[in-house]
Amino acid sequence: MGTARSQKLFKKAEKLIPGGVNSPVRAFKAVGGRPLFIKRAKGSRIYDADGNAYIDYVGSWGPMILGHTDTRVTQALKKAVEKGTSFGAPTELEVELAGLVLEAFPSMGMVRFVNSGTEATMSAIRLARAYTGRDKIIKFEGCYHGHSDGLLIKAGSGAATLGLPDSPGVPAEIAGKTHNAVFNDLSSVRKILEKDPEGVACVIVEGAPGNMGVVRPKAGFMEGLRVLTRRYGVVFIMDEVMSGFRLCYGGAQKVYKIEPDMTCLGKVIGGGLPVGAFGGKTEIMEKLAPSGPVYQAGTLSGNPLAMVAGIETLNQLKKKGTYEKLIGTTDMLCDGVEEIAKRRSVQCRVARAGSMFTVFFTNRQVKNYQDAKKCDLEKFSKYFLRMLKGGVYLPPSQFEAAFVSLAHARADITKTLEAVDRSFKGL
């Protein structure tokens, strides 16, 4: 398939935008290719600037759970645009969407809307620090919570070491407030808390990590975090920006049957428009301005376009049978990939969580970031480029989750598996 127009646009973009893209993973550097420039999308497909069609499993990195340009969402947006795109003042739409979110997540007594997942996690951590009077946080290597300074941290030589900056421009003093633990290893968290029982404000963890590829929490891990955080008076934050409506209506916390102190959301609750949210127990959230002293603000927070798209999306997701269909489609795809891998003698593991999945090229179970880094990245790159030529658009990185939508039909899965079969041949 020809991509001359995309390549021409990329060369032009490189002179105007750092790296030619506005988010690093889009550059295709991890897979040795050049990015496609997308012109339009509909249902399960996206179309590039050269007119090529692809079955899309990126879904704008998760939020297009209904599929692209869903008729009900776009119609609601058109009506909203005619009334005004932004007011900088409260609207009834904010109240309606807040009610839907709190209904879906009973662990939250109140919620505050922001404009991105990064804003949500950053604000939740600030609030947790103020609530506890402590400064340090615990995160897990391989879990991504946005690009704010305190969260761009890589692990040191041991699980309980304080982090070092993972990016130039992050002051060492800020990095020193972040402890790194090992995902799926409760002992790594316990050691940190035992060493610093009065210093840790919060533990933040993804509900189902998707930024080291999909890695499911092992049995008892999330429950163990809840026990430890209560024991040491630490705020337990579940980052469900990705998992919030991908595992079920109510997120990973509903699946694990646990109640975090705070929850971060994004992506899906805006129907694909820029949005995020953080919420939690009322006694914590009331510390937030203007009710309390902890400052957080956003000129476009609660933007009416994002609110109306989110309301329409959540109302559709609430309908009976929605998740049975979504998870059933995901299982059909993942089961098919596993069957082909076995038949083609390709060593891989297909990890899935709800409607999220990753194909890891390894013969071992991936349970944390160190395991993910040991996978065959060269083989993934070949697989990605072969699938792209076969008309299937996957995340251009081994370390990113892929997403199935309600718009993916059986014919899409059949075509995808045919592409997998060709891509695995000789791999």
156 pLDDT band, cuts 50/70/90, is: very low
Q: Is 239 one of the annotated active-site residues of the chain? A: yes
Per the structure, the count of domains in the chain is 2
Residue 276 three-state SS: strand
Please check whether residues 196 and 300 belong to one and the same domain.
Answer: yes
Across the beta sheet with 53-56, what order do the strands follow? 38-42, 45-48, 53-56, 392-393
Provide the CATH number for the domain around residue 76.
3.40.640.10
Please check whether residues 130 and 247 belong to one and the same domain.
Answer: yes
State the catalytic residue, choosing from 136, 139, 177, 267. Answer: 267
331 pLDDT band, cuts 50/70/90, is: very high
> Residue 267: is its pLDDT beyond 50?
yes
Tell me what pLDDT residue 163 has.
43
Tell me what pLDDT residue 171 has.
73
CA neighbours within 13 Å on the CB side: how many for 146?
23
Final residue in a domain of this structure, among 278, 294, 317:
317
State the catalytic residue, choosing from 144, 256, 323, 393. Answer: 144
153 pLDDT band, cuts 50/70/90, is: low
State the catalytic residue, choosing from 48, 56, 239, 412. Answer: 239
Q: Show the domain range for 87.
A: 71-317
Q: Is 267 one of the annotated active-site residues of the chain? A: yes
Contact predicate 324/407, CB 8 Å: no
Please check whether residues 360 and 283 belong to one and the same domain.
Answer: no
What's the CA gap between 145 and 152, in Å, rounded?
Answer: 8
Please check whether residues 310 and 375 belong to one and the same domain.
Answer: no
What's the CA gap between 142 and 176, in Å, rounded?
Answer: 18
Final residue in a domain of this structure, among 317, 339, 371:
317
pTM equals 0.93
Contact predicate 344/108, CB 8 Å: no
Please check whether residues 200 and 306 belong to one and the same domain.
Answer: yes
Please check whether residues 194 and 81 belong to one and the same domain.
Answer: yes
Please check whether residues 58 and 109 belong to one and the same domain.
Answer: no
User: Average pLDDT for residues 54-61, to the nearest whole number?
Assistant: 97
What's the CA gap between 398 and 375, in Å, rounded?
Answer: 8
165 pLDDT band, cuts 50/70/90, is: low
Q: Is 335 one of the annotated active-site residues of the chain? A: no
Please check whether residues 162 and 205 belong to one and the same domain.
Answer: yes
